[in-house]
A and B are shown apart, each in its own frame.
Chain A
């Protein structure tokens, strides 16, 4: 079945709050009301003609007007797939900073949703009501904020460790006293690569004496110099 047939079956299933199929994007999707997502997915999983038995991906998208939770479900038996969406509108007026949208957890329908929902809570701050283990998953439990939010403020330190490079005083940043280049500066006209000096003229490690060609080298000659 294609998305149109799957949507028609879902709309006729008696699950309330199933919207129209949006075919304006590459993967057509169905917007379902927040309260109906669990029965809709459970029905799609159990219906013998649909059998969307695998939750392939669960993700959330923060849009200017709403928070969208997207469910990609697919069937291994029938080789078809469907995209479902749930939209939680932003509250009226200001005060979006600590807005935590809430949708029901589908971990009871698909165990795969357990970790996906934990990740979306961790990174996007979507609370999944009824989740069996609602902890952060990637970040430490004491982390402040949800990094994938558009208004996320990057932290300047983690514990005692400064995270911004400028916070580390590498050297005095005084424009009248710029840092001096380290090492020897190449003179104008000097070739980039010097041919290696002949062995006999190299200074020795011991005593600094040079050895003329034809004479036996003293012990340790050539060691420690390059």
Chain B
């Protein structure tokens, strides 16, 4: 119980009820997977919280130490399974950094397009499921309608709907067909109209605002101290986006886009509505990025010619180490790889954004009503496959 004392609430209420311990999850729709939160309740008010994770643990890092560098790519898909392309990208870039190679120009631009499409698909899940958390069932179906279009677009070059194994060290696995870029642009036009529909449906709904504004306020300093990244950090007013500040793919440096941050529109800066609204606006920024990238895809190789030759036998980077972080839909994914000269790494560490974002939950929950706890968990937008890895 020592850990719970750490996060004790300082409140001055006069009426207290008998303390109740409540298990939220691991099988509960509002936990977005298999997350168990041990709550200490005083009536309906949470006085202490402890997250219990590990139900989906598959020891991906151990697998990474036992398979070759190329074989680990599909395993990264299964961490954040809603944003598989972005995970593959992080892993591919880390291996490329270790080898000292760079993907061809065409592959770089294709990577930008598929990753931003995947970001939209991922944020649509966040939008839809958050509506369900707040008791609005309809937005979920609207979100899945457009997500299906994204998945169909991503299926065409990769052959997969969710776990693509498309971005690989050295480039991308397959080239796109002739009409793919046109269809992506058509999707962008379509999605803009649908995005306006989402906002009339949920974003500016008075009940939704009442449920999310001023709830779960995450101050900037706390977010940074806990290593919170991605939309959850930006919603607290920090204009920090690796795509803009540390462009890990050089095309991001040549594209014009904004980094939306929270403004406290309906309440306090860094509340649940801000986190939700940053994600909504990021979808529009992704559309902007895709539109510019589609016009700039050059012809040429989609995979490094020299690496294809090397792929006939497992690649063996010399002794060394590399750390690389990318901006995933949920925050910054980092891979730390230590190579010792063999065909598989000595250490393969994945720094999942959901893991760090979830660690702030134990400080956010105390003092809230239990129904607001659901709003807070949903607004952090975690994927348990990545928390547990």
Residues of A within 8 A of B (CB): 24-27, 53-57, 59, 61-63, 70, 72, 76, 79, 83, 110-112, 114-115, 119, 123, 132-133, 135, 137-140, 147-148
Contacts and interface: CB of A to CB of B under 8 A. Distances in A.
A42 to B, nearest CB: 13
Given A115-B355, A132-B3, A56 B334 contact: yes
A26 B320 contact: yes
B356 interface: yes
Given A61-B346, A112-B226, A76 B238 contact: yes
Interface in B295-341: 320-323, 325, 332, 334, 336, 338
Interface residues of B, number: 39
A128 to B, nearest CB: 14
Contact of B224 (A62, A70, A76, A123): A76
A77 B63 CA distance: 36
Contacts of B336: 57, 59, 70, 72
Interface in B331-380: 332, 334, 336, 338, 346-347, 349, 351, 355-356, 359, 363
29 contacts: A25-B321, A54-B227, A55-B227, A56-B227, A56-B325, A57-B334, A57-B336, A57-B349, A57-B351, A59-B336, A59-B349, A70-B336, A72-B323, A72-B351, A76-B224, A83-B323, A110-B227, A111-B359, A111-B363, A112-B356, A119-B355, A132-B3, A133-B2, A133-B3, A135-B3, A138-B53, A138-B388, A147-B62, A148-B65
Interface in B183-224: 224
B334 A63 contact: no
B263 interface: no
B29 interface: no
A147 B98 CA distance: 25
A26 B62 contact: no
A27 B321 contact: yes
B155 interface: no
Nearest to B227: A112
Contacts of A25: 320-322
B375 to A, nearest CB: 22
Contacts of A133: 2-3, 6
B240 interface: yes
Contacts of B351: 56-57, 59, 72
Given A57-B323, A59-B347, A111-B225, A72 B334 contact: yes
Given A26-B98, A27-B322, A76-B238, A61 B226 contact: no
B246 interface: yes
B54 interface: yes
Given A26-B320, A79-B246, A112-B356, A63 B61 contact: no
A24 to B, nearest CB: 8
Nearest to B5: A132
B57 interface: yes
B291 interface: no
Nearest to B100: A26
B246 A147 contact: no
A138 B321 CA distance: 26
Contacts of B227: 54-56, 110, 112
Contacts of B322: 25-27
Contacts of A123: 59, 61
A183 to B, nearest CB: 30
Contact of A112 (B6, B57, B97, B225): B225
A26 B97 CA distance: 8
B323 A110 contact: no
A163 B3 CA distance: 33
Residue of A54, A70, A110 ringed by the most chain B CB atoms within 10 A: A54
A54 B57 contact: no
Nearest to B320: A25
A138 B338 contact: no
Given A62-B347, A110-B225, A148 B57 contact: no
B332 A56 contact: yes
